[in-house]
Each structure stands twice: as structure tokens, then as C-alpha cells.
Structure 1
Amino acid sequence: MNQTPAYAHVVALPQTWSTRVPAEFIDENGHMTVGQYAVLGGHGTASLLEAVGVDDHYRSARRMGFFVAEQHVTLSTEILQGSSVSMHPRVIGRTTTTLHLISLPGEPINPAGIQLAGRDAHSCGSRHAAIPSHVGADRPQSRRSRQ
């Protein structure tokens, strides 16, 4: 059973970040490197967090922020040099200290071929810290308590 979202559903989500793929993102086969897919997902996620107030001021005032604790990249299509790529991330769940996110690239490629899922942990120095209630609040608490 295919759980991949349709293109129309992805581009209907708010876009948080976009870029044109530069030559340095491309491997010897003419495709974007796998590591750069993770970078794109990171930019989309960072933009989403900034939109809900997790920005430089938040990090300096609270001495807290997020870091990628886990990331998975699923590819079944290609992005080529010069392609314009937009990112459409969503919080899909949360615990008291982690956000579970998915970043889906939009136009001009079919995002059904690429999914970037991850778990970002909220931290204060070297320890996990509770996420403020407004961050990812539109998503239910995760049933898993993996923190």
C-alpha cells in the first residue's frame, strides 16, 4: 500500500524554504547527492521552527534549541542541477522533548519520490528539555515516549 502523499497535497502545504540546486550539490552521475537531500530537509525544518518562534532570539534568551537526533531520507526520484526546489515540512507528532517531522520537497519535482523524516530533540546545553507548548501544538503527543 502506497502511503506517499500526492503532489497536489504537498504543494498545498505551506512552503517554508526554496532554492535552485547549485552545481556543488551534484555528484559524478549528474544527480543531487544524498547528503544534500538531508541538507534541504534541514533548511525546511529550520524555517518551520523559525516560523513558530524558535529563532536566534529564542535560542539566546532560553539557551535552548533543537538538534537532529535522527533522520531518514527516502528517494525514488532525482533532483538535477538547476532544479528549483521548495520545502514543505510538517510536524507529525511530538513528545515532551522531541518533535517528529517530515519534509517534502515540492515543485518542480514530484515529491511522492522523496521524503525526509526525522526526530529533532529539544535541548538545553547537554540535556533534553521540555518543548514549549506552542511548538508543534497542532499535532498530538506521540504514543511512543522515546526521548
Structure 2
Amino acid sequence: MTGNTQKFDQMVALPAVLEGTVTTESIDLNGHMNIRHYLEYGAVGADSICRGIGMDETYRSRRRMGVFAAEHHLCYHRELREGEKFSVHVRFLERTDKALHAVSMLLDRTNERLACTLEIVMVHVGMDSRRATPLPADIAASLDREIARSANLDWPAPLCGAMGMRS
């Protein structure tokens, strides 16, 4: 087994937050999935895990807080072509009292390889003030559990190296 295959096996062992098949409608003029779908699926993956820790519609409407994307870095490792199956897996990496850093990994399930990563820095905001605000204790604790789970993995997340939390 090669290092790339082993890394795929490690990534695919994380829970899939989204699964699908590349459709004809998502193919661009170059014969592979269009850029907007890589971004969309990575963002949907990050949103799904945020919802899983309690930052959902109810959180926004009742607590009047949410997260805004502050920075993205999209990196293509391999193209996805029509008919290929994919899945999205997310790791929370670190946080401050007002921001979080995550990576969505889009895996090519057909060819068993990493297709794309979407690294995201999100800022926690008050929906009325539209300004950064500290994470509530319950959400911070949930994030800390996810970050600890990620830190306990025996493989590094595929990161660009240019993003992260500011001190």
C-alpha cells in the first residue's frame, strides 16, 4: 500500500458529512467538475459539522449568533470526472474565542484519492451587530471536543500552511 492510499484510508475513516456522484450538469468545458462545485461541497461539509455542534438555524434565530467565512483556500489534488463518486470529511483544527479553523476534504471514492481540500477560517458573529463575538461556553466545549478528536489522529491534516488562527 502506498502512502497516498494509506492517507486516503485514514481520511475516508472519518465520518462522511456529504456523499454524491459527479453529474453531467456539474462538468465544465475541461471535462471535469467545475470549480464552483468543489467550493460548494467543501462549504456544505463545513456547515454540516457546524450544525452538528449546535450552530444551526435555531442557533441563529434564537441566540442571534452564527459564523461568517473570513478566508478560504481551495487546493486541487486530483480532478473529479462525470460518474465518479465522492465524499466530504471535515476536521476542526483550532479555535480562538471568536474564530475557528477547519478543513473539508473532498475524496474521490471511485479512484480512492484526495481530490480537493477547502481550508476555512470562520469568525463567530452576533447576527444583529454583524461583529465578531465570543463563542458561548457550550459551543466552545463542543468545538474543543472536535479539535481534540482531530489532534488525536495519527496523521496530519492536508493544509496549505498559510492559514490558521491569529494570536
TM-score where L is the length of structure 2:
0.76
- CA–CA distance in structure 2, aligned partners of residues 110 and 100 of structure 1: 26
- CA–CA distance in structure 1, aligned partners of residues 55 and 45 of structure 2: 13
Decide whether the 8 Å contact of 2:17 with 2:45 is kept in 1: yes
Map of 1:22 onto structure 2: 23
Q: Give the C-alpha shift of residue 28 in structure 1.
A: 0.6
- CA–CA distance in structure 1, aligned partners of residues 11 and 51 of structure 2: 20
Map of 2:133 onto structure 1: 129
Decide whether the 8 Å contact of 1:97 with 1:128 is kept in 2: yes
Unaligned runs of 5+ in 1: none
Q: How does 1:22-101 map to 2 (within 5 A)?
A: 22-101=23-102
Unaligned runs of 5+ in 2: 149-163
Tell me the number of residue pairs that the alignment of Structure 1 and Structure 2 aligns: 142
- Cα-to-partner distance string for 1:11-66 (whole Å, 9 max, x where unaligned): 11111111222223211111111222111101101111111111111111111111
- List 4+ stretches of structure 1 deviating above 3 A: 109-113
TM-score where L is the length of structure 1:
0.85
- CA–CA distance in structure 2, aligned partners of residues 30 and 143 of structure 1: 37
Decide whether the 8 Å contact of 2:43 with 2:118 is kept in 1: no
Q: Which amino acid aligns with 2:70?
A: A
Identity of aligned residues (%): 32
RMSD: 2.2
Query: Which sits farther off after the overlay, 24-33 or 103-112?
Result: 103-112
- Greater relative contact order (CA < 8 Å, ≥ 6 in sequence): 1
**1:112 pairs with 2:114:** yes
Rate the CA distance shift 1:71–1:110 in 2: closer, same or farther, 3 A: farther
